[in-house]
Every structure is written in structure tokens, then in C-alpha cells.
């Protein structure tokens, strides 16, 4: 009996010392993802910055329970060299317990994205910001700046962009500011047509345009773009940033008018721009959407659902919502889809769905893998 107990102990130690490290080298979508301290990673709706040999993962630090959408802590950051093992770098943008500051505990901070400005040697964060106790009424975008990738980030401001500025591609006849706007607008029989024509741009012309789910994209020439769900989440706006990425220029475009896209994630592949997005169903998943364009400012062509799988997989994008697409360093044309599997009852326990994003006949594709290793991704 003593020898059997010794053998069992040896097997357990073998599993811990040999098998567990092997598992830790893989991404296992939908499971609890632990950081290098053995604690669950808390960085939802996030994005990745690659800088000086490391990936930096910025995301929403969600609380427990159904009120986890409220930002009580701030934006978290994790670092990694292999996209698998992540070190907790802490809360890099903290809420400010000051009633004179808009970034208060209890406000909503979503979709933080960070880019690096070589011009100023600064790290620039933009994020979707809703004011405390106002639900999703404010529809603003916030700016924070840091000297290091790991922060701390200093909160600068939150705005509705493009106040008193018309989109470049809005026809002259649609550039009308209505004297009043009906409260029952969505009950009107032709409301969708009017959205496509740009009536909501005119409604928000004097106050600035709505900015909710958003992402950042830096093109090959260094031009930065802010891409956000606007016009009551009906139309995406592509905005050109200043050369230091700290403000909006007067140049912006409406794309995919009236098609209700949110959670945009953008890459450039073989000279073309590709986007993965979702429909607007709150915390519930829906079929994924993919698009392609020759220019980031459009026009964008619909490619359809990128998911390759069962009807249930396609109906929910593997029970996830897009947030970012990671170019894998050192591997040409290798990308990782970043998605969130939201748990509306306990947002802090929402899981991550990371999968290889491949291309077939110039269309992005997502296939389910129970476990996979970014190091083994082929270059294309």
C-alpha cells in the first residue's frame, strides 16, 4: 500500500511538473485564462500593442456581478512575449475619485486601445467613455497619454468628436441640421432610409458625433485612424487623427451606413483593409460580419460571416464578440482574432475567445480550435 501511495504521488508530481507547463504554452479559448501569478486575466474588450519585443494587452477591468460594466478600477494591462503567458502590469489608467473629473468610479470605460506615437515618444490611449449614472447616453471617446507602455496613463479629456463638421462623404443635400427631432423616430416607416441618408449626423451636428464601440488603426504611412460606432450604433465613422494621435482632424467618413455594426476590428492584409464586426445585440452574441475595402475610408464591401463551423457556431461567432485582430510578429500574414464571450450576469467572469484568423479566396475565416499555439501558426 505504501508503494502504491508513493507511485500516485509521483504521478501527480509528474503531471504538475511536465504536463501543466505544456498546457500553459497553448491558448484554450473559453476557459479561465490565468496570468503568470496564477490569477484570472481581467482585460475585456481589449486591444494589443506590440512594442520593443513585447505584446501589451489593454482591456476593461470588469467587476463581479451584473454591475461589472461600471468602471470602479480602470484599464488593466498585461505583457507577454509569446501571446500565451501574460504578466499582470496592473491598472494603468485609474479612475479618479473626484466629482470634477469625468473619469470617476462608476462611469463606463470600454474598448481601450493604445498606439505608440514615434513623433512624441508617447503612448496614446483612446476608449469609449460613458458618464457616471447616465447609462449609454453620453457616447463619448476618451483620451489618455503615457510615457511608457505600462503607464501610468494620464487622463486628458472625453469628447464627442467632429462638432460642427460634416463627414467628407456626406452629400451636400444631406447636410441639414433639423430644427427638431421626433422622439418616436424609430417608429417612422422610413427611419432606416433616413439613417442611411445621414439624418442622425445632422441631429448631432452641434453637439458632436456619437462614439461608442471603437478601435484604433495605424496605417503603413503612420496615419492613425479612430473607427467607432456612431449615429445610435447605426453607422461607423472612420476619423483621421492628428499626426501625434492626440486629437481628431476635420476629416472623417461614414461607412456601412445604417447597417448597425459595432465591435470593429481592422487589419491590413495584402494591400487591402479587412474588418470583423458584430451586430448590435448588447451582451448577447450574434453572427459575425466581415468586410473589405481598398481604402480605409471606404467604400467597404460585405464579405459575410467569417465563421467556418456549425449553424450554432455561425449564429454566435463561437459565442463571442470581436474586439481586435493581432498581427503575429515574425510570421507574415498571420493573425489572431480576439473576442469576448460576455457573461452578462457576471461580467468579470467573461471569457476570451482567441483563434487564428486565416484567409481563403481573399476572405477572412475563423475555425474553432480547442487548444492551439501561436508559435505553430504558419506564415502565409
The set of cell numbers assigned to 244 is 501625434
How many Cβ atoms sit within 10 Å of the Cβ of residue 2? 6
| Region of residue 231 (phi > 0: left; psi between -120 and 50: alpha; otherwise: beta) | left
Strand 289-293, strand 235-241: pairing: unpaired
Average pLDDT over residues 28-45: 98
Q: Are 350 and 340 in contact (CB under 8 A)?
A: yes
Integer Cα distance of 142 and 379 in angstroms: 36
Q: Where are the alpha helices (DSSP H) in the chain?
A: 2-14, 20-24, 191-197, 199-203, 311-316
| Mean pLDDT, rounded, for 38-65 | 97
* pLDDT at site 377: 85
pLDDT at 65: 83
- Predicted confidence at residue 55, as pLDDT, reads 99
CA pair distance 324, 181, nearest whole angstrom: 35
Give the per-residue pLDDT at 197: 97
**Given a cut of 50, is residue 302 above it in pLDDT?**
yes
Residue 358 sits at φ, ψ, to 5 deg, of: -115, 175
Q: What is the mean pLDDT of the chain?
A: 94
C-alpha to C-alpha distance for 199 and 178, rounded to whole angstroms? 8
Stretch 322-346: mean pLDDT: 97
Q: Percent of the chain scored above 70 by pLDDT?
A: 93
The C-alpha cell that represents 166 in the structure block? 460634416
Q: All domains of the chain, ordered by start, with CATH?
A: 33-159 (2.115.10.20)
Task: Report the SS3 class of residue 78.
Answer: strand
Amino acid 113: pLDDT: 99
**Residue 321 reports pLDDT greater than 70:** yes
What is the predicted pLDDT for the residue at 13?
43
Decide: 229 and 214 in contact? Cβ < 8 Å.
yes
Q: Tell me, what's the pLDDT at 14?
A: 46
The 3-state DSSP class for residue 368 equals coil
Is the distance from CB of 245 to CB of 198 less than 8 angstroms? Answer: no
Strand, helix or coil for residue 173: helix
Lowest-confidence region among 97-111, 189-203, 318-332: 97-111
In the chain, the N- to C-terminal Cα span, in Å, equals 56
Least confident interval from 10-14, 191-195, 263-267: 10-14
Tens digits of residue pLDDT in 8-34:
544 444 444 444 444 468 999 999 999
Cβ 360 vs Cβ 341: under 8 Å: no
Whether the pLDDT of residue 69 is over 90: the answer is no
Tell me how far apart the alpha carbons of residues 161 and 231 are, in angstroms, rounded to a whole number: 12
Q: Residue 272: is its pLDDT beyond 60?
A: yes
Q: What distance in Å separates the CA atoms of residue 112 and residue 43, rounded to the nearest whole number?
A: 10
**Count of helices and strands (H, E) across the chain:** 5, 21
Report the relative pairing of strands 262-269 and 248-255 from DSSP bridges: unpaired
Give how far Cα 352 sits from Cα of 85, 178, 217, 308, 377, Å: 14, 43, 22, 19, 19
Q: Give the pairing type, strands 301-304 and 289-293.
A: antiparallel
Q: Are 306 and 352 in contact (CB under 8 A)?
A: no
Amino acid at each position: 500500500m505504501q508503494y502504491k501511495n508513493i507511485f500516485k504521488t509521483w504521478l501527480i508530481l509528474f503531471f504538475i511538473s511536465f504536463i501543466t507547463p505544456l498546457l500553459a504554452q497553448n491558448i484554450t479559448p473559453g476557459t479561465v485564462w490565468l496570468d503568470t501569478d496564477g490569477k484570472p486575466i481581467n482585460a475585456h474588450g481589449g486591444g494589443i500593442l506590440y512594442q520593443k519585443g513585447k505584446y501589451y494587452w489593454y482591456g476593461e477591468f470588469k467587476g463581479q456581478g451584473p454591475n461589472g460594466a461600471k468602471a470602479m478600477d480602470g484599464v488593466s494591462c498585461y505583457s507577454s512575449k509569446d501571446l500565451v503567458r501574460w504578466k499582470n502590469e496592473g491598472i494603468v489608467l485609474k479612475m479618479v475619485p473626484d466629482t470634477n473629473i469625468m473619469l470617476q468610479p462608476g462611469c463606463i470605460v470600454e474598448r481601450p486601445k493604445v498606439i505608440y506615437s514615434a513623433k512624441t515618444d508617447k503612448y496614446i490611449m483612446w476608449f469609449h467613455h460613458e458618464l457616471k449614472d447616465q447609462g449609454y447616453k453620453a457616447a463619448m471617446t476618451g483620451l489618455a497619454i503615457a510615457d511608457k507602455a505600462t503607464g501610468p496613463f494620464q487622463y486628458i479629456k472625453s469628447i464627442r468628436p467632429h462638432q460642427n463638421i460634416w463627414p467628407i462623404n456626406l452629400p451636400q443635400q444631406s447636410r441639414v441640421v433639423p430644427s427638431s427631432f421626433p422622439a418616436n423616430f424609430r417608429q417612422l416607416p422610413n427611419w432606416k432610409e433616413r439613417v442611411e441618408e445621414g439624418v442622425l449626423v445632422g441631429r448631432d451636428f452641434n453637439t458632436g458625433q456619437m462614439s461608442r464601440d471603437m478601435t484604433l488603426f495605424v496605417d503603413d504611412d503612420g496615419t492613425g485612424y479612430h473607427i467607432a460606432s456612431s449615429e445610435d450604433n447605426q453607422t461607423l465613422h472612420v476619423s483621421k487623427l492628428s499626426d501625434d494621435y492626440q486629437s481628431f482632424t476635420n476629416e472623417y467618413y461614414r461607412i456601412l451606413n445604417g447597417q448597425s455594426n459595432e465591435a470593429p476590428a481592422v487589419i491590413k492584409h495584402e494591400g487591402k483593409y479587412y474588418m470583423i464586426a458584430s451586430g448590435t445585440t448588447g451582451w448577447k452574441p450574434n453572427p459575425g460580419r466581415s468586410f473589405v475595402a481598398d481604402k480605409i475610408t471606404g467604400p467597404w464591401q460585405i464579405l459575410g460571416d467569417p465563421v467556418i463551423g456549425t449553424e450554432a457556431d455561425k449564429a454566435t461567432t463561437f459565442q463571442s464578440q470581436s474586439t481586435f485582430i493581432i498581427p503575429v510578429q515574425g510570421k507574415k500574414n498571420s493573425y489572431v482574432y480576439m473576442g469576448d464571450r460576455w457573461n452578462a450576469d457576471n461580467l468579470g467572469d467573461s471569457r476570451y475567445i482567441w483563434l487564428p484568423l486565416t484567409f481563403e479566396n481573399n476572405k477572412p475565416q475563423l475555425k474553432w480550435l480547442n487548444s492551439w499555439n501561436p508559435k505553430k501558426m504558419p506564415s502565409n
